[in-house]
Each structure stands twice: as C-alpha cells, then as structure tokens.
Amino acid sequence: MWLEPKEMSEWAYNYCMNIKDSPEIRKNITISIWAYWYCRYKDDRPEVRKNITDPYDAYRYCQYIKDRPEIRKYI
C-alpha cells in the first residue's frame, strides 16, 4: 500500500488513536494538523510535536496544550 504523505499521516494518526499507539506507526504522523491533533487528543510527544509547523496549528497548540517556544516560533 502506497500513500501520499498527507494520506499516510492521516492514516497513522487514525491507527494510533483507534487501534494501537505504536512508535513505528507514530513516526509517520508528519503533517502539522495530524501532529497537533495527536498531541492534543492522544499524547504530547516530542517526536510528534516537532512536526507542528503550520502557524494556525502552532497557535492552537500553544493555546490549548502548552505554550512552548519551539512551537511558538511558527506562529
């Protein structure tokens, strides 16, 4: 099965949320919105958090999860 990065990121997010939260699968959550949702609704992990680079996702992360300088720089 071959997916585009956006599709793979969404698939990985859904897999971790609904089936099994696995480090092997989690590394595929690379799109900003899916990384934000993972951190907000599952677990705020540094390896996923680093992929939050969209200004709006970064703003929501700082507003709803934690105001971190490494995320705030994208706002």
Compute CA 55 distance to the chain's CA centroid, rounded to the nearest angstrom: 13
| HSE, side-chain direction, 13 A CA sphere, residue 3 | 12
CA distance 47 to 23: 9
Q: What pLDDT is recorded for position 5?
A: 72
Rounded Cα–Cα distance for residues 34 and 13 (Å): 6
pLDDT, tens digit, 9 for 90 and up, residues 10-31 = 999 999 999 999 999 999 999 9
End-to-end CA distance of the chain: 35
- Confidence check: pLDDT of 8 > 60: yes
- Cα of 40 vs its chain's centroid, Å: 8
Nearest to 56 by CA among 35, 22, 25, 32: 32
Per residue in 25-63, pLDDT (tens digit) is 999 999 999 999 999 999 999 999 999 999 999 999 999
